Amino acid sequence: MVVFPSHSPLPTRGFEFQTALINSSSRAYFNKINTNLISILSMAKNNKGRNSKRPQSIKQEEEIADMEDLFSEGDTRKIRASLLDWYDENQRDLPWRRRATTKSGNGKDNKQEEDEKRAYGVWVSEVMLQQTRVQTVIDYYNRWMQKWPTLHHLSQASLEEVNEMWAGLGYYRRARFLLEGARMIVAGGSKFPNTVSALRKVPGIGDYTAGAIASIAFKQVVPVVDGNVVRVLARLKAISANPKDKHTVKNFWKLAAQLVDPSRPGDFNQSLMELGATLCTPLNPSCTTCPVSSQCRALGNSTNDESVMVTDYPMKVVKAKQRNDFSTVCVVEISDASQNRSQQTKSNSRFLLVKRPDEGLLAGLWEFPCVTLDEEADLSMRRKLIDQLLKKSFKLDPPKNCSIISRELVGEFVHVFTHIRRKIYVEFLVLRLKGGMHDLFKEDGIKTMDWKLLDRESVSSMGLTSAVRKVHSMVQKFKQNGSSSNSIRSRKKPKHT
Ligand code: SF4
């Protein structure tokens, strides 16, 4: 049986966890703005261990201290002007920032068509950029746009094609939502949604992406708040509250909405994000070249008090602990029984791939047969589980209907998902079918699972997740070298079964 993991819940936040979120420099800032708050904090600190929950009064004080005001009118004007000037001079040349041009039709239609093309490009790029670096995204974006230059082209793609194109970017749900969203908009027969509220109805489009599309493509005066914007705003206003807290998040949206420039909303939003991505970076902000350093409170605090650093803002949030699990993957190569071993060539070998369920982690993606476990299992247990899977799902039942030519442990590696640290054991099993390939795979029972047999070249060229690609390349190296180079354990050749 294949066990698919679910995400582990976030840890409960007790008093100690909250205390860990308040660093010493932030407390120095509190001291400047509210001495009462510090007294309350010290009292609470002295009670550490006795109180399991943070007193409500402290939480409220922190929020009041952090959210005391918006930007002044003067600061707002200066920040807008300085950021836009800086952006005009320094923005990176990125493919999704280039305006699409249309060749035919009257001016009005062209304008709408251009805006919609822009909206589509912004949407694709913003979804790709979530959790992925700009340099990596550029190539994916260009290939995507070449294959599906408009929303209509994308709406006609299959999920498999989209997953293939996305392979290596991770978080595959994002790709599926893009496809579902494109189909929904096209099926609706209307134009591309151009307001935040209409965009929010499209699958996978959240507040951030809606704000980005509406402001950049359709010039709507709406804000965006992503990780870069949070960092810049937290520093500009020296906000010490937990940036993940829903009240603080709301405050960031308010501040961003106040700043957005009514005449160039899209450019302003991009300038704020660009500043966070290039100058106001998490660890090494370039304050000396920053266009808004005069309005930056974190820099002011840091200049006045050497115990404060601008990097103290925003507060560092302790990440949820990753869950460990284990997976045993069996790369099954099937040889045709109609030829003996000396006659076999590479071309008559096929690899068995199975499709994951449509829901859950890596939904709908192809992989080699595998079993996922909550606990570590030894080799014999792992083989037993794989044998059960092959028998139940594919009627592969040696020695009854197939014989084992070889079975080797290839190696192991660790793959990290967002909340899961998975140790993956890789085994390579070569089978010869007694009744021939077609007879066995005709059986009804195996139609309950999507699977396919592919030759090595087809496996190499298909879009696979990075973990599955790693498994495939480990097996290919193993076949070339005749032994594993990935695991100490695998150097000890196991007995064939
Ligand atoms: S002055 Fe420094 S900390 Fe402040 S916004 Fe600019 S780069 Fe960020």
Are 307 and 362 part of one and the same domain? no
Measured from the CA of 296, which atom of ligand 1 is nearest? Answer: 4
> Catalytic annotation on 443?
no
Domain boundary among 288, 312, 336: 312
Q: 461 near 447, Cβ under 8 Å?
A: no
Provide the residue-wise pLDDT of the chain in tens; the chain has 497 residues: 333 333 332 222 222 223 233 333 333 333 333 333 333 333 333 333 333 333 344 444 444 444 457 899 999 999 999 999 999 999 999 999 887 655 555 555 677 888 899 999 999 999 999 878 999 999 999 999 999 999 999 999 998 899 889 988 888 889 999 999 999 999 988 689 999 999 999 988 999 999 999 999 999 999 999 999 999 999 999 998 899 899 999 999 999 999 999 999 999 999 999 999 999 999 999 999 999 999 999 999 999 999 999 999 998 887 778 889 999 999 999 886 455 544 544 457 889 999 888 777 777 788 999 999 888 899 999 999 999 999 888 888 888 888 899 999 999 999 988 788 999 999 999 998 887 666 555 555 555 568 888 888 888 888 788 899 899 999 999 988 865 444 433 333 433 33
CA angle 6, 12, 16 (to 5 degrees): 140
Answer yes or no: is 122 within a domain: no
Residue 465's CATH number: 3.90.79.10
Structure-token pair, residue 79: 């920040």
User: Is there an atom of ligand 1 within 6 Å of 235 CB?
Assistant: yes
In this prediction, residue 184 carries a pLDDT of 95
Q: 358 near 160, Cβ under 8 Å?
A: no
Are 290 and 417 part of one and the same domain? no
Are 377 and 436 part of one and the same domain? yes
Q: 51 near 78, Cβ under 8 Å?
A: no
Q: 428 near 331, Cβ under 8 Å?
A: yes
How long, in residues, is the chain? 497
DSSP state of 300: H
Residue 272's CATH number: 1.10.1670.10
**Residue of minimum CA distance from atom 4 in ligand 1:** 296
Are 361 and 479 part of one and the same domain? yes
Are 231 and 329 part of one and the same domain? no
In this prediction, residue 84 carries a pLDDT of 98
Cα 269 to ligand 1 centre (Å): 16
Evaluate the CA torsion angle 330, 333, 337, 342 in order and state its sign.
negative
Answer yes or no: is 154 within a domain: no
Measured from the CA of 232, which atom of ligand 1 is nearest? Answer: 5
Are 424 and 276 part of one and the same domain? no
Tokens 């049986």, located at residue: 1
Answer yes or no: is 128 within a domain: no
**Would residue 168 be called left, alpha or beta, if left means φ above 0 and alpha means ψ between -120 and 50 degrees?**
left
DSSP state of 189: T
Q: 125 near 179, Cβ under 8 Å?
A: no
DSSP state of 343: G
Are 342 and 423 part of one and the same domain? yes
370: which strand partners? 329
Cα 456 to ligand 1 centre (Å): 52
Measured from the CA of 293, which atom of ligand 1 is nearest? Answer: 1
Provide the Cα torsion 364, 368, 374, 375; round to 10°. Answer: -170
User: Is there an atom of ligand 1 within 6 Å of 379 CB?
Assistant: no
Answer yes or no: is 24 within a domain: no
Cα 80 to ligand 1 centre (Å): 15
Domain boundary among 293, 312, 331: 312
239, 310, 311: residue to mutate for ligand 1 pocket, most atoms within 8 A of CB: 310
Cα 83 to ligand 1 centre (Å): 12
User: How many domains does the structure of the chain reveal?
Assistant: 2
The DSSP code sequence of 216-283 is HHH--------HHHHHHHHHHTT--S-TTSHHHHHHHHHHHHHHS-SSSHHHHHHHHHHHHHHTS-SS
426: which strand partners? 329, 411
DSSP state of 51: B
In this prediction, residue 360 carries a pLDDT of 73
Strand 323-335 versus strand 350-355 pairing type: antiparallel
- Candidate list 61, 113, 116, 126, residue with the active-site label: 126
Q: How many CB atoms lie within 10 A of CB 370?
A: 24
Are 392 and 463 part of one and the same domain? yes
Element (DSSP H or E) covering residue 375: none
Cα 52 to ligand 1 centre (Å): 36
Cα 20 to ligand 1 centre (Å): 24
Answer yes or no: is 333 within a domain: yes
Answer yes or no: is 421 within a domain: yes
Q: 239 near 314, Cβ under 8 Å?
A: yes
Are 292 and 342 part of one and the same domain? no
User: Is there an atom of ligand 1 within 6 Å of 79 CB?
Assistant: no
CA separation for the pair 147, 137 (Å, rounded): 15
Are 388 and 298 part of one and the same domain? no
Measured from the CA of 310, which atom of ligand 1 is nearest? Answer: 3
90, 230, 233, 280: residue to mutate for ligand 1 pocket, most atoms within 8 A of CB: 280
180: CB partners within 8 A, 6+ apart: 203, 204
In this prediction, residue 416 carries a pLDDT of 86
Answer yes or no: is 255 within a domain: yes
Q: 172 near 359, Cβ under 8 Å?
A: no
The whole domain housing 362 covers: 323-491
Measured from the CA of 286, which atom of ligand 1 is nearest? Answer: 7
Are 289 and 258 part of one and the same domain? yes
Measured from the CA of 276, which atom of ligand 1 is nearest? Answer: 8
CA separation for the pair 436, 450 (Å, rounded): 20
User: Is there an atom of ligand 1 within 6 Å of 21 CB?
Assistant: no
In this prediction, residue 109 carries a pLDDT of 63
Are 254 and 231 part of one and the same domain? yes
352: which strand partners? 453
Answer yes or no: is 401 within a domain: yes
Round the CA-based radius of gyration of the chain to a whole number and report it: 28
Domain boundary among 258, 280, 312: 312
Cα 295 to ligand 1 centre (Å): 9
29, 299, 302: residue to mutate for ligand 1 pocket, most atoms within 8 A of CB: 299
User: Is there an atom of ligand 1 within 6 Å of 390 CB?
Assistant: no
